[in-house]
Amino acid sequence: MLGASILRHSLTAVAVLALLASSGVAWAESYNTPNLPSAEPYQQEGGVGGGELRLFNGDGNQTFAAGVRVRAGEETEAEFTIFTMDTSGEDPIADVVRDSTATLVGLSFKWLAYQEASNSGQTTVSVMPGFEIPIGNLEGTNTEIPATALSDDVIPTISVPVEWMNARGTRLKLVPRYIGFDDSPSVGDETIDGFGDVFAVGFGVSHPLGEYSAMGDVQLVLTGENSIDDATNDPTSDFVWSVGGSWQPEDDDVRVDAFLTNAAGPTAATSIIATPDQSIGLGLRVSGEF
């Protein structure tokens, strides 16, 4: 049952938090929204690590992602990520995504291209090239055909976060991005239609409310596909969204995000993949410095 799955993974998340806290890990604020990156490169000593879980309808439908960001040079950061998907539960997502598994590892860099501060706020622009590599065996079966829109090919990515922050701390984001999915993945001796080259634009907002903040984002696909049609099982395009909030105590750098979304995961490639029929996932994210 979904309730049992949520409880099981929530207890795991609490255990991880308790272990990290007992190890002396200091938590740090991140300006990401659930599906869009921040524009500011990490420039401190050490780094920022974090993880998140997304639960979708039906027992056993979930994705997990973890990553670390470190300073890679002046005005530059590097980020390593790993993403796993498992939809092996009894209930397929939107009666389409069933028994699908995938693991991606990714590496990206964020270079500060422009930043200007004034009395009214701050403008920041960065460039984020990267790639994500499928590892292991990709499996994807739905109710009609044994197929997956992903392939064993490397997925190149590039995002250009543009962020405006006003004097009250409200942040607005504009993020053009490109994701290079395979347009004809192989299934046995045949090929199927894939997502292809995806060009999209994202919009995000976050607003501080004391120890809490409200946040959300939406992405619109301009070319290519990013989802599966629940009626035809063919690749299609759909908008991607999230809405949620964060908690960060004033006397402690702990930050916990909770949100709703229809995106598979937080990485550049997975954050553009929309669930069929706008199926909603519940997400929980934590991150911190080391």
The structural domains of the chain, with segments of one domain joined by +, span 2-289
Q: Rounded mean pLDDT of 122-140? A: 88
Average pLDDT of the chain to the nearest whole number: 83
- 213-250 confidence digits (pLDDT tens): 999 999 999 999 999 888 887 889 999 999 999 988 77
Torsion of CA 128, 70, 211, 33, to 10 degrees: 20
Q: DSSP letter at 93? A: B
Q: Which of 250, 248, 268 is nearest to 258 (CA)?
A: 248
Q: Is the pLDDT of residue 283 over 90?
A: yes
Residue burial 31-66, b: 16+ Cβ < 10 Å; e: rest: bbbbbbbbbbbbeeeebbbbbbbbbbbbeebbbbbb
177's tokens: 């991005």
CB contact set of 212 (below 8 Å; sequence gap of 6+): 245, 246, 247, 248
Q: Which fold has domain 2-289?
A: Porin (2.40.160)
Q: Taking residues 46-57, what's their average pLDDT?
A: 90
Look up the pTM and report it.
Answer: 0.85
Residue 149 has pLDDT above 70, yes or no: no
In this prediction, residues 24-40 reach a mean pLDDT of 70
Q: Token pair for residue 248?
A: 């960060």
- Decide if 150 contacts 134 (C-beta within 8 A): yes
> Out of 198-207, 250-259, 267-276, which region has the weakest mean confidence (pLDDT)?
250-259
What pLDDT is recorded for position 285?
Answer: 94
Angle, CA of 75, 81 and 83, to the nearest 5°:
155
Residue 270 neighbours by CB distance under 10 Å: 24
* CB burial of residue 220 (10 Å; 0-12, 13-18, 19+): middle
Contact call for residues 28 and 233 (beta carbons, < 8 A): no
189/225: higher pLDDT: 225
pLDDT, position 145: 55
The angle subtended at Cα 145 by Cα 141 and Cα 148, nearest 5°, is 50
Residue 109 clears pLDDT 70, i.e. is over it: yes
What is the pLDDT at residue 68?
A: 94
What are the two backbone dihedrals, phi and then psi, of residue 276, each rounded to the nearest 5 degrees? Answer: -60, 145
CA–CA separation, 84 vs 62, rounded Å? Answer: 9
DSSP character for 268? T
Q: What is the pLDDT of residue 150?
A: 64
